[in-house]
Structure 1
């Protein structure tokens, strides 16, 4: 994956606002390397240009906000390419996240 932009919607199950366990649905616009073809002498080259596609997926995670405003979050998500999966070796996307921040 070269890059992606991924808006999401989260539903939190915690008692505090935007804190605790959550599930999310996400969309993703992504740029992925094209299909790779391997020659007999083990030289690798890419067939075609980069593939641009949309993916849809779901994920879950945990977010903790301390009383002093520090934020800790871990999440994981899984999705599938929608339109151009046949033009790349990758038809699935995986999102992993680990964040530390401060809410003010």
Structure 2
């Protein structure tokens, strides 16, 4: 009995230690991603997301046109977002997000009675949703779609870009 008791204590302490190491070692909370959908269309679109916990994350996205394949009239988009995940795995599955989008576009508006092109910078608020898959090795595939409305430009009633689309097919890596 004296030899069994220390063996049991050692067994349970090793088990408890292994469990605490597993929960503490899950520190993969960084996700750089690139939007391959926009890349094919001539836009450089990258995202960095920081996972706060198993249900939420915050991120920033930058999109800049690099090719004239499609005439976007966009100078840049800078988006910050907060996501809430509904999946059973760590920050995976269906998600909803709220975002703010600082955007600069060249738009055709009426100034002093005449139509002219003008660079307009505005801030949009919006919602989107999507789905994220994460492999056991950390590879990410996500698709999302949403939209928002520009809020502050004095030309919003005349603009083509008073609505902001947020869409993508991202690939990335979680580490």
TM-score tier, shorter chain, comes to 0.7 to 0.9
Q: CA deviation at 1:99?
A: 1.1
Q: Distance in 1 between matches of 2:117 and 2:139?
A: 46
Residue 20 of structure 1: aligned partner: 93
- For the pair 1:97 / 2:168, whether they are aligned, the reply is yes
Q: Distance in 1 between matches of 2:170 and 2:90?
A: 18
The alignment of Structure 1 onto Structure 2 pairs a total of residues equal to 96
Which range is displaced more, 54-63 or 67-76? Answer: 67-76
Whichever structure has more helix as a proportion of its residues is: 2
| TM-score (norm: length of structure 1) | 0.83
| TM-score (norm: length of structure 2) | 0.51
Partner of residue 8 from structure 1, selected from 81, 87, 108: 81
- For the pair 1:60 / 2:133, whether they are aligned, the reply is no
- For the pair 1:31 / 2:94, whether they are aligned, the reply is no
Closer, same or farther: CA 7–24 of 1 in aligned 2, 3 Å: same
Q: CA deviation at 1:100?
A: 1.3
Gaps of 5+ in 2: 1-73
- For the pair 1:69 / 2:138, whether they are aligned, the reply is yes
* CA offset digits 1:21-54 (Å, max 9, x no partner): 00000000000112257xxxxxxxx715200000
**Structure with bigger gyration radius:** 2
Q: Is the 8 A contact 1:51 1:88 kept in 2?
A: no
Q: Distance in 2 between matches of 1:62 and 1:12?
A: 9
